[in-house]
Amino acid sequence: MDAVIAAKNLNKMFGNLTAVADVSFSVAAGECFGLLGPNGAGKTTTIRMLYGFSPLTSGTLELFGKSIAENLCDIKFRIGICQQDNSLDPDLTVLENLMVFSRYFDLPRQTAADRALKLLAFFGLEHRAAAKTSELSGGMQRRLVVARSLINQPDLLILDEPTTGLDPQSRQQVWTRLEELKRSGLTILLTTHYMDEAARLCDRLVIMDHGKVLVEGKPADLVRRHVGREVLEITRPDQSVRDFLAQRGHEFEDLGHRLLVYDQSCNGLFADLAEQFRDADCLLRMGTLEDVFLRLTGRALRE
Amino acid sequence: MKLPLFPPVSGRFVRVWQRNLTVYKKSWKVSFIPPLLEPLLYIAAFGLGLSGLIGDVSYQGKAISYVDFVVPALLATTIMYNGFFETSYNSFVRMYYQKTFDAMMATPLTMPEIITGEIVWAATKSVLSAALMLPVLSAFGLLSYPASLLTLPLSILGGLAFGATGMFFTSIVRGIETFNLPVFLFITPMFLFSGTFFPLDQLPAWAQGVALFLPLTHLVLLARAATLGLWSAILPFSLLYLAVYTLVFFPLALTKMEKRLIK
């Protein structure tokens, strides 16, 4: 199948700063693809390159099989973009935000009105159609931004951190809606630094850091490959535990007050540890994407 | 629209203009007040107050009343203020605080189209304010017709010139308070020294020379010719100056804004 997005060796320099270095990925039709990474990893810059807001320093970028260099306007008719910053129009009401936006896509008024009302209902905003955007809660504003990015019925939806700053209820609702859109066949590109979000929504993803792609794969495969199925956490470890692990030849990550053992089968180890040491301080849990992320990008604070 | 120096701009810039019109229509009752009331204030101040002190003014060899002298300058400065302030403070708020241009970039619009829409909107506000002032001034018998109707096409040109100027400053200011500089160094001196409140020949020769490079000087000359129905040899030159000024600052604003925002 033809790729909806084919990005090859994307590079972006801001003066001497390399924001994106040799990033390649492709997204197939109907797929939900994730760009993950800590703050400053180059996710937003990559997204901005996709819709011509940030010209490439080098590399090739094709959307729907067409180069964005020559076909940007045609391409932009077919994509919906939900930017990271809230860019709702505060001078307009909720409904007007959708209507004015629809004009940018040359939609006939009646078509736009039908779609706008459907989208408001889909995102649970129909009762706030006449409200000012500043009167909406953060979650409602975010839902309205996503609704707005669907007004042109895009073939590709690009979401830059769609749930950052939302409460758990709002996140769940956004996710449910996005899952419905996914089921309807919409191709989605998503950036996030919430690993649960990526694990739930993304069919495939890349983890980026310092402008580079570190790994690519399906969430479950990445967990298996880089962490193992299970992770053993030992809190308040003493030297004897460390000696025990080293003696048994287990690799572990030492955080000082906590040890993390990533292993393909921690089961036996967990039983032995619990028997020989205090079992209250040992926890065996499923490996998660967050483990993969932290292993690959490190635990140092960013920015 | 394909002109040398201009980046390509499709007719879609109208969508940006429409957006501003939609917002404007929500508060038109308030927006209509200044152009309707301001002429009354000026006529009261200059007609009742200053006129008595000054008497008639000699303009191009003719004695005209001070109010007749000032009224076209009032029109010209209104055209300037509407154009300049729309694309400076107002556009900056949309660009920087409201992220309106960012949102538009997620649609088929290009940056030159967005900026063109903003400048054309600024010119529209200039035309609207001139059109609202004309009947008020006419009611006092201060305009000669039909020549005065020429102030309408003139307000398009003036609006584009000062709209482009405002947008040029928007492309280079660091923050919204930085607009104080072009306002106090460029706009306010023009308001005072462009043959607005006293004839240019009252100025020393060097200052007259400087004034001839100020776009408002030419807008005032043209507006005064229209409202008084007085033609002179300098008018084609004034028209040409304003046109060239616009053709320099308009594409300059487009390219500078593109540089500022597309990174």
pLDDT score at A265: 59
Q: B-chain residues within 8 Å CB-CB of A77?
A: 108
Mutate to test the interface with B, among A104, A105, A145, A160 (most CBs of B within 10 A): A104
Domain ranges of chain A: 3-223, 228-287
For B74-104, how does the pLDDT look when each residue is reduced to its tens digit (9 = 90+)? 999 999 999 999 999 999 999 999 999 999 9
Quote the crossing angle between the two packed helices B66-85 and B151-172, to the nearest 10°. Answer: 40
What does the mean pLDDT of chain B come to?
A: 93
Q: A-chain residues within 8 Å CB-CB of B13?
A: none
Location of structure tokens 């390509």: B8
Mean pLDDT of B238-252: 97
d(CA B30, CA B120): 21
Mean pLDDT of A170-197: 94
Residue B176 has pLDDT above 90, yes or no: yes
Q: A273 with A234: CB under 8 angstroms? A: yes
At residue B256, what are phi and psi to the nearest 5 degrees?
-70, -40
Q: Please give the DSSP secondary-structure letter assigned to residue A256.
A: S
At residue A206, what are phi and psi to the nearest 5 degrees?
-120, 145
Name the residue among A125, A182, A138 with its Cα closest to residue A164.
A138
Q: A246 with A254: CB under 8 angstroms? A: no
Sign of the dihedral defined by the CA atoms of residues A177, A180, A186, A189, in that order: positive
Which amino acid, one-letter code, is at A274? A
Q: What is the SS3 string spanning chain B?
A: CCCCCCCCCCCCHHHHHHHHHHHHHHCHHHHCHHHHHHHHHHHHHHHHHHHHHHCEEEECCEEEEHHHHHHHHHHHHHHHHHHHHHHHHHHHHHHHHCCHHHHHHCCCCCHHHHHHHHHHHHHHHHHHHHHHHHHHHHHCCCCCCCHHHHHHHHHHHHHHHHHHHHHHHHHHCCCHHHHHHHHHHHHHHHHHHCCCCCCHHHCCHHHHHHHCCCHHHHHHHHHHHHHHCCCCCCHHHHHHHHHHHHHHHHHHHHHHHHHHHCC
For A221-234, how does the pLDDT look when each residue is reduced to its tens digit (9 = 90+)? 999 998 888 888 88
> pLDDT-derived band of residue B2, with 50, 70 and 90 as boundaries?
low
Mean pLDDT of B123-138: 95
**Tell me, which fold does domain A228-287 have in CATH?**
Alpha-Beta Plaits (3.30.70)
Domain ranges of chain B: 33-46+56-261
Q: A-chain residues within 8 Å CB-CB of B31?
A: none
pLDDT score at A279: 61
Name the residue among B189, B249, B188, B245 with its Cα closest to residue B219.
B245
pLDDT score at B127: 97
For A6-61, how does the pLDDT look when each residue is reduced to its tens digit (9 = 90+)? 999 999 999 999 999 999 999 999 999 999 999 889 999 999 999 999 999 999 99
Other CB atoms within 10 A of residue A207 CB: 26
A83 interfaces chain B, CB cutoff of 8 Å: yes
d(CA A11, CA B63): 70
Sign of the dihedral defined by the CA atoms of residues B190, B195, B196, B202, in that order: positive
Q: Output Rg (C-alpha) for chain A, integer angstroms.
A: 22
pLDDT score at A255: 86
d(CA A175, CA A54): 28
Q: Which two tokens stand for residue A32?
A: 């939900």
B98 interfaces chain A, CB cutoff of 8 Å: yes
Residue B55 has pLDDT above 90, yes or no: no
Bridge partners (DSSP) listed for residue A286:
A230
> pLDDT-derived band of residue B46, with 50, 70 and 90 as boundaries?
confident
Q: A-chain residues within 8 Å CB-CB of B110?
A: 72-73
> pLDDT-derived band of residue A270, with 50, 70 and 90 as boundaries?
confident
pLDDT score at B256: 96
Q: Do A87 and B103 touch (CB under 8 A)?
A: yes
pLDDT score at A55: 94
> pLDDT-derived band of residue A275, with 50, 70 and 90 as boundaries?
confident
Mutate to test the interface with B, among A54, A84, A89, A141 (most CBs of B within 10 A): A89
pLDDT score at B147: 92
- All residues at 6 or more sequence positions from A54 whose CB lies less than 8 Å from its CB, including other chains: A12, A45, A48, B262, B263
Q: A122 with A149: CB under 8 angstroms? A: no
Q: Do B98 and A100 touch (CB under 8 A)?
A: no
Considering only the beta carbons, identify the residue of B26, B102, B109 that sits closest to A83.
B102
Residue B3 has pLDDT above 70, yes or no: no
- Tell me the count of A-B CB pairs closer than 8 A: 68
Considering only the beta carbons, identify the residue of A54, A76, A87 that sits closest to B263.
A54
Q: A-chain residues within 8 Å CB-CB of B106?
A: 51, 53, 76, 80-81, 83, 87, 149
Residue of B nearest to A55 (CA): B263
pLDDT score at B174: 94
Tell me which CATH code domain A3-223 carries. Answer: 3.40.50.300
pLDDT score at A23: 96
pLDDT score at A284: 84
Residue B34 has pLDDT above 90, yes or no: no
Q: A-chain residues within 8 Å CB-CB of B99?
A: 83, 85-87
A87 interfaces chain B, CB cutoff of 8 Å: yes
d(CA A113, CA A121): 12
B106 interfaces chain A, CB cutoff of 8 Å: yes
Q: Do A100 and B105 touch (CB under 8 A)?
A: no
B102 interfaces chain A, CB cutoff of 8 Å: yes
Name the residue among B96, B95, B150 with its Cα closest to residue B117.
B95
> pLDDT-derived band of residue B4, with 50, 70 and 90 as boundaries?
low
A105 interfaces chain B, CB cutoff of 8 Å: yes
Query: Looking at this predicted complex, what is its ipTM?
Result: 0.90
Q: How close B13 comes to chain A (CA, Å)? A: 9
Q: Do A87 and B98 touch (CB under 8 A)?
A: yes
